[in-house]
Structure 1
């Protein structure tokens, strides 16, 4: 399940990154980046 979780998080991260690129003219990309960093920081805790 951990491998599936990693793949899922990877897909979400990629989608968030692509979405942030579409909002390059808006400051919302900073919020998305902050959420992405938070998600990456929380990921190891979810796996333990």
Structure 2
């Protein structure tokens, strides 16, 4: 999922990324995704909300 998010950001440069559904509502899921998002690759993402 983290790789897909990074690829989408690289291609489309969105203002916001929204994850939905029951699995995305899990704090564990969100933290695991954040841990895989490479800060150097995602350096242009300034903030994240959960």
Per the normalisation by structure 1, the TM-score is 0.34
Which has the higher Rg, Structure 1 or Structure 2?
A: 1
Q: Which has the higher contact order (CA 8 A, sep 6+)?
A: 2
Per the normalisation by structure 2, the TM-score is 0.33
Whose helix proportion is higher, 1 or 2? 1
